Structure 1
Amino acid sequence: MVPIESTIENTIFSLYVLEELLKPEGFVIGSSWDYDSGYFDYLIDNKDTYYFLRIPFYAVAGSLDYPGVTVRVDKPFLLAHQYQKGNDETAESGALSGAVNQFQSPSNPDADLPPEYINMGKDMVKKMEGLLIPSR
């Protein structure tokens, strides 16, 4: 994980406004959200390792499943997850097991980040700041 300094850290936005501005740029709300926190993820690359720029946010008024929720943005960071190649030998077969255990765990959840991806992440944060700061 590589934290990236940003002028949007600790700023407050409507989650709706964040979605309207960030989704057209390729950000998605990560699947690991809960009622009081979540992440906007930007996929940088996915060859053998998934490289993401991640923007954490936390509900300050309402909950994330409530229309009109207000969130505070936290420090952006880069993340690399390296996945196992091939079949998962420990996986069980069967319809129920397949429905429950459909995702493979990363073999290295905090893989190294190449310098070019760090630079790409910093550039994307600058672009994101340009989108978000005028909208406030």
Structure 2
Amino acid sequence: MKFEKYGIEGKEIKFGLLETIMDHHRFVREGQWDYERAMYDMKYEKQSTGEVFYLRIPVYAIQGEIEDRHAIVRMMTPLLGKHYYPHGVEYDEEFPPEIVKDCERRLTGLLETLEK
């Protein structure tokens, strides 16, 4: 599921500042990066079913390399995916309304911070 109406896609920001903002909003990068791309994740686990979902925000470097605090990165469209072990994450699924609503709330808050 794509979250296109939030205005996050296309935002350009220094990587070091983005790291601080994403940490503040509890998105994690973990080991999901290379020198050109990175992925920030928010994990959701539905306790009643054990299903795992990820709100993901991909970014890519347009100037410099990931891990350089002064690099400039462009944010891409946020995605919500469902994790299937051991195959990976699928994005074309039906998602629980309460998780979609929380994703929308978090993206709104993230956008407010990015625009400050």
**How far apart in 2 are the matches of 1:17 and 1:79?**
26
1:118–1:23 distance in 2 versus 1, CA, 3 Å: same
Over alpha carbons, which structure has the higher Rg?
A: 1
Partner of 1:120: 102
Q: Is this contact kept in 2: 1:30–1:38, CA < 8 A?
A: no
Partner of 1:78: 80
TM-score normalised over the length of structure 1:
0.73
Return structure 1 stretches of 4+ with deviation > 4 angstroms: none
Q: Which residue type is aligned with residue 130 of structure 1?
A: E
TM-score normalised over the length of structure 2:
0.84
Q: How does 1:1-136 map to 2 (within 5 A)?
A: 2-5=1-4, 6-45=6-45, 47=47, 48-83=50-85, 105-106=86-87, 109-110=89-90, 112-134=94-116
SS in 1 for 2:82: strand
1:112–1:31 distance in 2 versus 1, CA, 3 Å: farther
Identity fraction in percent: 25
SS in 2 for 1:130: helix
Q: Deviations over 1:73-125 (max 9, x none)?
A: 01111111033xxxxxxxxxxxxxxxxxxxxx24x632542121111111111
Q: Is this contact kept in 1: 2:15–2:68, CA < 8 A?
A: no
How many pairs does the alignment contain?
111
Q: Is this contact kept in 2: 1:8–1:133, CA < 8 A?
A: no
**How far apart in 2 are the matches of 1:21 and 1:30?**
15
Partner of 1:98: none
**How far apart in 2 are the matches of 1:112 and 1:34?**
30
Q: What value does the CA root-mean-square deviation take over the aligned residues? A: 1.8
